[in-house]
Amino acid sequence: MTGPLDISSMTLQRPTVEEGLVAEEALLDMVCQGEISLGWLAWSPRDRGLVMPRRHERLAGFPEARARLAERGWPVRFRATGGTPVPQSPQVINVALAQRCRVGGSAAHLEWGYHRLGDPWCDWLGHLGVADSDLGPVAGSYCDGRFNVRIAGRKLVGTAQRWRRVRGCRDMALLVHGAMQVEGNPAELVAVVNDFQAGIGDPMRFRAERHIALREAIPGFQPETLDTLLARYRG
Amino acid sequence: MSTAITVPEDLWEGDNEGVITAWLVDDGSQVSQGDLVAEVMVEKAQYEIEAPAAGRLAIAKQEDEVVAKGTTIASLDD
């Protein structure tokens, strides 16, 4: 069960941040239990939160930073995938893909996983008229990695993964997740992450101009067209 | 008898090092074969490490320590 979310739905769902995160973990569980070999979720939260791996709890200053963000309407939530803090809000659309992978084949390593999510995303952007999208790092962006979806070198989609052994065999189950800011000014979300950075006493600050919201590239974007992205993940 | 818990060689390709992000079981706890005991992160990917046998967990590598594939991170003692 994925709670209030329907798996492999072609429409965007609107859970809370917590419900969305729980549904993603449940999706991975379904692959691990052999109930499905492929599934996805597309969701945009109806509330807000700053989402990070649980290991951040160990950082000095975390309790104070958490309290400060909660006061400002950005409660901290924890996710199962790797990386660093990422803001979630109604401005953000998430796509999570879970798939069973055979160890020893080409489809059982992290680079393959990132391309499995990111290449169709770039193809979809091209279909919508964005010519200069690719995968790569974006220095100065929050939660940076080697496999962001970029537009003209700016970060549109942050990506992360979780891998789990399928019960009773050598196959692996992959959960790969992408978070894309669709509307609003990236400076608003970058400020939330920088607020957390200040709270934990980390001098690193992130730069809003290294991010891009989808509507800056596609002013007429409608969430209904997300089904043409999800269709690319079938099979 | 003691069984080593190592970072499996087939968890990821290449020679990147990971970091132990969490122990899911306390040091000294009794675990069963197949229990999830730890998480290792490489390039924003979290990998789960299972117990290869039953036994009492003796942690050798602590949270936030850097590990390579094949590294012994704990042992399971009868």
Q: Across the interface, do A53 and B64 touch by the CB < 8 Å criterion?
A: no
- Report the complex ipTM: 0.88
From CA B19, how far away is CA A146, in angstroms rounded? 17
Q: Across the interface, do A55 and B21 touch by the CB < 8 Å criterion?
A: yes
The total number of residues written for chain B in this structure: 78
Domain boundaries, chain B: 2-77
pLDDT at A2: 57
CATH T-level topology, domain B2-77:
OB fold (Dihydrolipoamide Acetyltransferase, E2P) (2.40.50)
State whether residue B15 sits within 8 Å of chain A by CB.
no
Q: Across the interface, do B45 and A146 touch by the CB < 8 Å criterion?
A: no
Tokens of B3: 């069984």
CATH of A17-233, one of 3.10.129.10, 3.30.930.10, 3.40.50.1980, 3.20.190.10: 3.30.930.10
| Residue A143 falls in the annotated catalytic set | yes
Residues of chain A contacting residue B62, judged by C-beta atoms under 8 Å apart? none
**Which strands form B72-77's sheet, in the order they lie side by side?**
B2-6, B72-77, B55-59, B30-31
> How many contacts, defined by CB atoms under 8 Å, are there between A and B?
61
Q: Which helix (H) or strand (E) holds B67?
A: strand B66-67
Tokens of A16: 């809370």
pLDDT category of residue B13 using cuts at 50, 70 and 90: confident
From CA A169, how far away is CA A151, in angstroms rounded? 40
CB hemisphere CA count around B7 (13 angstroms)? 26
State whether residue B54 sits within 8 Å of chain A by CB.
no
Residues of chain A contacting residue B43, judged by C-beta atoms under 8 Å apart? 82, 110, 145-147
pLDDT at A13: 97
Residue pair B49/A162 in contact (Cβ under 8 Å)? The answer is no
pLDDT at A102: 85
Divide the 235 residues of chain A into consecutive groups of 10 and give the mean pLDDT of each group.
Answer: 80 97 96 95 98 93 96 96 95 97 75 96 97 97 97 98 88 95 97 97 97 97 95 89
Q: Across the interface, do B10 and A104 touch by the CB < 8 Å criterion?
A: yes
B15 CB neighbour count, 10 Å cutoff = 7
Domain boundaries, chain A: 17-233
The total number of residues written for chain A in this structure: 235
- DSSP secondary-structure letter at A129? T
Tokens of A23: 């549904």
Could you tell me whether strands B36-42 and B45-50 are parallel, antiparallel, or unpaired per DSSP bridges? Answer: antiparallel
Q: How far apart are the first and last CA of chain A?
A: 22
Give which of B52, B74, B62, B68 is closest to B9, Cα–Cα.
Answer: B68
Q: A186-199 and A62-71 helices cross at what angle (nearest 10)?
A: 140
pLDDT at A1: 47
From CA A35, how far away is CA A37, in angstroms rounded? 7
The pLDDT tens digits for B38-66 are 999 999 999 999 999 999 999 999 999 99
